[in-house]
Amino acid sequence: MGQNPFQATSMLIAFLVATVFAATAYGGKADDLYKRAAAFYTDGKYAEALKSAKEALIEVEKEYDSDSIKLPQPLTLLSGVYQKLGNWTEAAEVLERLRSIQEAVLGPRSTKVATTISTLIAIYEKQGDTQKASQLNQLASARWGKRDAGDPDAREPTSQGSDAVVQAGPLWEKWNRLAGTPNYIKIAALIKDYHSKHSYLKDDFFVCSDMAIEVWNIIKTSGINARLMVGNTERDIVKYKSDLEYISEMNHVWVMAEVMPSDWIPVEATAGIIIHPKIPSFELYNKGTVFETPKRFKEFSESRTALFQVCKEANVMVDEYNKVYAGKPLTMDGMERTGRAKQKIEDCKNLEKVVLAHLGK
Residue 300 has what pLDDT? Answer: 93
Instruction: Choose among 70, 77, 139, 62: nearest CA to 102.
Output: 70
Domain boundary among 117, 144, 171: 144
Residue 266 has pLDDT above 80, yes or no: yes
Residues 80, 97, single domain; the answer is yes
Domain boundary among 240, 270, 292: 292
Tell me the pairing of strands 226-231 and 263-268. unpaired
Distance CA 262, CA 280 (A): 23
Residue 296 has what pLDDT? Answer: 93
Residue 164 has what pLDDT? Answer: 28
Tell me the pairing of strands 252-260 and 226-231. antiparallel
Tell me the pairing of strands 273-274 and 263-268. antiparallel
Residues 118, 184, single domain; the answer is no
Residue 42 has what pLDDT? Answer: 75
Residues 312, 282, single domain; the answer is no
Residues 131, 37, single domain; the answer is yes
Rounded to a whole number of angstroms, the distance between the first and last alpha carbons of the chain is: 42
pTM over 0.85: no
Strand partners, 230: 253, 289
Residue 181 has pLDDT above 80, yes or no: yes
Residues 63, 118, single domain; the answer is yes
Residue 355 has pLDDT above 50, yes or no: yes
Contact indicator for 230, 297 with CB cutoff of 8 Å = yes
Task: List the single range of 44-48, 51-55, 324-328, 333-337 with lowest mean pLDDT.
Answer: 324-328
Residues 188, 272, single domain; the answer is yes
pLDDT tens string 121-180: 888 888 889 899 889 888 887 776 544 433 333 333 332 222 223 444 677 788 888 888
Decide if 329 is inside a domain.
yes
Residues 114, 173, single domain; the answer is no
Residue 111: pLDDT band (50, 70, 90) is confident
Instruction: Choose among 70, 72, 76: nearest CA to 119.
Output: 76
Decide if 11 is inside a domain.
no
CA angle, residues 85, 90, 95, in degrees to nearest 5: 110
Residues 91, 118, single domain; the answer is yes
Residue 241: pLDDT band (50, 70, 90) is low
Quick one: what percent of the chain has pLDDT higher than 70? 80
Give residue 354's domain range: 298-358
Q: How many domains does the chain have?
A: 3
Higher pLDDT, 117 or 203: 117
Decide if 91 is inside a domain.
yes
Higher pLDDT, 96 or 198: 96
Decide if 339 is inside a domain.
yes
Residues 238, 304, single domain; the answer is no
Contact indicator for 6, 322 with CB cutoff of 8 Å = yes
**Distance set, CA 194 to CA 11, 215, 267 (Å):** 43, 8, 12
Decide if 201 is inside a domain.
yes
Distance CA 349, CA 306 (A): 11
Question: Which 3 state secondary structure label does DSSP give 145?
Answer: coil
Residue 240 has pLDDT above 90, yes or no: no
Residue 199 has what pLDDT? Answer: 64
Beta strands in 261-298, from DSSP E residues, in sequence order: 263-268, 273-274, 289-291
Residues 266, 302, single domain; the answer is no
Residues 200, 303, single domain; the answer is no
pLDDT tens string 74-84: 888 898 889 88
Decide if 90 is inside a domain.
yes
